[in-house]
Amino acid sequence: MLDSPATLLAGLGGEIAAGTLIPFLGPDVLTMDGPSTVPTGARDLALLLASKVGVPGRIKQNLWHAAQYIETHKHRVTVDKMMADIFKVAPEPTALHLWLAGLERLPLVVDTWYDGTMRAAFTARGRTDWGIVQGVSKARRLDGGVWTRAVDPQGVPTEEPETWTTILYKPHGAAQPTGDVLVSDADYVEVLTDIDIQTPIPETVKSRRASRGFVFLGCRFYDQILRTFARQICKRSGGPRYAVVPDELTRNEIRFLEIEGIQPLTMPLAKAVAIMSGG
């Protein structure tokens, strides 16, 4: 007899707490307790950027194209300043962020949005044994071989992330504390060229995923870049893979979950988190 979704989710919560499953967060986690103070999702962010700069209508809903247009016509500094301003104040940590930040056996959290909410949650929990490993934009990558940088809880660069109990991995960069983000087409060209052979994925992430699976929370996969990053970050992981999803998945999202062997669990995110965390 198959377990009910609630029973399965309770088990997944136990595995996350034990460090055997890795949470993979998307921007929709910011809306689980109510409206967010920052854009949530590539389309929302693209529209906000387009409202501040005259972006052609045909691309104003595509984040990567809209950011590239602004970079080309207004300079990269404009893009970075806009992103820093939009995400300057981190939204209040949700129940999910605070629960994860309190798990001292959690080796890795993948956070695919630009906000600083997960960082704020670690600080709120008084944790000092963690740090950020984040993607580096082409605009700031002085050394062609450097795909990521690591910073400690105070935002100070370090070369020893493997010593941290928990790594917060921000593959698309983070608007705070370094202000370094991957957002334009130019940022992604080289990354997408090499990501199939895994060179942009940090070694610490590769080692910590090897014997573990993933649970996708607040993620959508309607865009090819989002699907590619999720696929490659989870590549060669130990498995299994689960995703808490809404009812209205697109055809591309359904196919992606099937191809990648990700078991969907259809339930409101707040309810699923309450079950997983025992709240």
Residue 118: exposed, middle, or buried by beta-carbon count in 10 A (0-12, 13-18, 19+)?
A: buried
- Contact partners, residue 40, CB within 8 Å, separation at least 6: 27, 28, 30, 31, 113
What was the pLDDT predicted at 141?
57
Least confident of 53-57, 68-72, 212-216, 268-272: 53-57
- pTM greater than 0.85 (yes/no): yes
Q: Say whether 101 sits in a helix, a strand or coil.
A: helix
Q: Say whether 255 sits in a helix, a strand or coil.
A: helix
Domain locations along the chain: 5-34+92-277
User: Per residue in 33-80, pLDDT tens?
Assistant: 899 999 999 999 999 999 999 899 999 999 999 999 999 999 999 999
Four-residue CA torsion sign, 248, 117, 112, 86: positive
CB 253, CB 220: distance < 8 Å: yes
> Is a pLDDT exceeding 80 seen at residue 139?
no
What was the pLDDT predicted at 252?
95
Least confident of 92-96, 145-149, 200-204: 145-149
1 band by pLDDT with thresholds 50, 70 and 90: very low
144 band by pLDDT with thresholds 50, 70 and 90: very low
